[in-house]
Amino acid sequence: MQIKSNLYSDKPKLGDSILKGATIGAGVGGATGIILGAIEANKKVKALPVESVTLNIKEPVYETKEIGKIPKNQYVPSWPWNSVNTTPTEPVYEKVPLKDKNGNVIYKEYQQTFQGHGKPLVNYETKEVKEPIFNGYSQSIWEYSDTDCYTTKEYDYYDEEYKTVTRCYEDIDGYWVRFYPKIDYKVIDTYQKPVVKFETGVSYAQHMILGGLMGAAVGGVIGGVLGAVVNKLSQLEKQKKENSMEGSPTPQEEVPTPKEGAPTPEKN
């Protein structure tokens, strides 16, 4: 009987409670540790002295210009049919690099100061100057339709009777015609653009990983302990209820009281 009781006991197992608590604690602790690690890394970066570097910047000058025209988007009804108006009337605007009279790209130059915590490191990226070239247009056509339904009676030769049926048909009202510009871009020059980064010697990733591992470890231990405590309290509460039920008096059958004037049964 004792073995059967242990097999089918509904008491929460201590190991399962500890494992569940440790798992939850490790997850919460790990997430908290990652956040705290990032905060700690940011504090170290802010503690570094602020340095600055001033650089000469060279950039091409652009101007928004009309590079071509396309037809206007239009709706064409299916009846009476009207032809699509493909006359280019809508201007197409693009940013175009300015050139001097010799065809060379015009650049503007200015100085810019960069500031940050740590040692400034300057690298240069090669940027392309692209000129837009208009190459006509493309188009797309979208049907605009409605679905109409009606109810009628039709004779069913199989069942030999009239039945009510619903018929639907699609009615095309017209077409939306939309036009899109076709633009190619030609590289006409290149230039160097500085990119400044500040070396701090502080690794955010390292701090976050370390914080996450430490948080998971501490959270797992605390969660396991709390799981064991909850398990113990649960068992004590259940045992208390069982003891209370065992000590309660057994209900006795109530003997009905004879009504006044009723005959008393004779004893044999």
pLDDT tens-digit readout, 18-43: 777 668 877 887 788 788 888 887 88
Mean pLDDT, the chain, as a whole number? 82
- Does the pTM surpass 0.85? The reply is no
The pLDDT score that the predictor gives to residue 5 is 44
Q: What is the mean pLDDT of residues 186-205?
A: 90
Q: Which of 82-91, 175-184, 224-233 has the lowest mean pLDDT?
A: 224-233
Of 178, 167, 180, 182, nearest in space to 143 by CA? 178
Q: Which residue has the higher pLDDT, 267 or 112?
A: 112
Q: What is the mean pLDDT of residues 163-175?
A: 86
Segment of 19-28, 112-121, 123-132 carrying the highest mean pLDDT: 123-132
Q: Which residue has the higher pLDDT, 206 or 96?
A: 96
- Whole-number Å distance between alpha carbons of 143 and 73: 14
**133-151 residue pLDDT tens:** 999 999 999 988 888 888 9
Residues facing residue 34 across a β-bridge? none
* Residue-range domain boundaries for the chain: 12-48+200-232, 49-145+172-199
Q: Which residue has the higher pLDDT, 90 or 12?
A: 90
The pLDDT score that the predictor gives to residue 254 is 54
